[in-house]
Structure 1
Amino acid sequence: MRPQKVADHVLLENMISVFRFNGYEGASLNDLANASGLKKASLYHRFPNGKKEIGSAVLAYITEGITNNIYQVLADKNVSADIRLNTVLENINEVYDGGKNSCILRVLSMDSGLELFGDQIKFSMNIWIDAFTLLGIDFGSTKKEAKSKANKSLVLIQGSLVVTKAMSSLIPFQEALKDLRNLYIE
């Protein structure tokens, strides 16, 4: 068997870029093949079920990132809650490139994407909420208060990304990161 021309993580990052720019409906297999650096036949070889399988693989990759960069960091009781929060805020800032990148969960939840990927999107968002709930509890909130803060944390980031894009300004995203920190450090 020949070695793969493009590493999986590079391929998936390139696919994410196409979906971010075009949405699920607007992303053609030609766009995905061009971004991947693979010929269409090679892309089909890696993803026999086409665009839907690519979307699902992208979401699995994103879920892994949320698990590694948010959940595992916030669940690590060996590190102070304040340091965990700061680390996660840095991770979020990096993933969204300071607010320049749209959230792939939002992009893939539009049009037919929600019908196709709703369970995966919900699962990813629940990992986020579970992680921030743990953090809230570690900061002294009741479980109910912590869950409320966790939901707000997701809305803050997602909402700020929409506003950032619409206003062509990174300020809303940067302010949301500060507001998210303040939600926990009162």
Structure 2
Amino acid sequence: MSNRDDVLEALGEVFRHYGYEGASIARISAATGLGKGSLYHLFPGGKDEMATAVITHIHDWFERAIFSPLRLTGDTDGMWDHVAAYFNRGGRVCLIGAFALADTRDRFATAITRYFTCWIDALALAYRQGGVENAHPMAVNAVLRVQGAIVLSQALGNTQPFETTIADLRLH
């Protein structure tokens, strides 16, 4: 891995697995195959810059795969397909949600708020395009249910809560 983009997936998995505090440079180095010097060459701001880059990378993926298509087409079925795949049907932690719940909340508050606001706003627009009157509260509820289903699936070691939630959300 020789550039920032090449290491973002591996960095994200380290943060996802160990949290911000547990993501030591040694763990990051092992996951990326880069030494400390190479990591600081790519990310001079250290771990904060790495986490910010990962959050931006995740947001950019959601923008391309979910938010923009929702705004353009209102296709919620496509969104649920992408959401289910991205979160491995509840088997993958939402890193931005995890950062929101940890001591990192204040450090990355703007990026965290942006991610969830963009998701809610894009989904609310799709619902409005579909004729739903209470589109914004419904979108907030949908994102809330997805995040809760991820947590419950993780806690139970079972993807059924997530899969049931997505199936139910598809009906609305």
Q: Structure 2 length as normaliser, TM-score? A: 0.95
Identity of aligned residues (%): 29
Q: Could you say which residue in structure 2 is the equivalent of 1:36?
A: 32
Q: Deviation at 1:47?
A: 0.5
Q: Distance in 2 between matches of 1:65 and 1:89?
A: 15
Q: Structure 1 length as normaliser, TM-score? A: 0.88
Q: Could you say which residue in structure 1 is the equivalent of 2:116?
A: 125
Q: Distance in 2 between matches of 1:74 and 1:126?
A: 14
> Cα–Cα, structure 1 residues 39 and 121, in superposed 2: closer, same or farther, change >3 Å?
same
Q: Distance in 1 between matches of 2:155 and 2:5?
A: 29
Q: Distance in 2 between matches of 1:9 and 1:176?
A: 33
Out of 76, 100, 112, the position equivalent to 1:109 is 100
Instruction: Give the letter aligned to residue 55 of structure 1.
Output: A
Taking the TM superposition and a 5 Å limit, the aligned residue runs for 1:1-186 are 5-77=1-73, 81=74, 84-142=75-133, 145-183=134-172
**1:63-96 residue CA offsets vs partner (Å, 9 max, x unmatched):** 111211111111123xxx4xx2121111111111
Task: Give runs of ≥4 in structure 1 deviating > 4 Å.
Answer: none
Provide the secondary structure at the position in 1 that maps to 2:83: helix
Instruction: Give the letter aligned to residue 36 of structure 1.
Output: T
How many pairs does the alignment contain? Answer: 172
Q: Deviation at 1:7?
A: 4.8
* Residues 11 and 36, structure 1, Cα contact 8 Å, conserved in 2: yes
Instruction: Give the letter aligned to residue 99 of structure 2.
Output: L
Structure 1: gaps spanning 5 or more residues: none
Q: Distance in 2 between matches of 1:8 and 1:68?
A: 19
* Residues 146 and 162, structure 2, Cα contact 8 Å, conserved in 1: yes
Instruction: Give the letter aligned to residue 98 of structure 2.
Output: V
Instruction: Give the letter aligned to residue 117 of structure 2.
Output: N
Q: Deviation at 1:117?
A: 0.3
* Residues 99 and 161, structure 1, Cα contact 8 Å, conserved in 2: yes
Instruction: Give the letter aligned to residue 12 of structure 1.
Output: L
* Residues 100 and 112, structure 2, Cα contact 8 Å, conserved in 1: yes
Q: Deviation at 1:112?
A: 2.1
**1:138-181 residue CA offsets vs partner (Å, 9 max, x unmatched):** 11012xx1001110111111000000000010100101111221
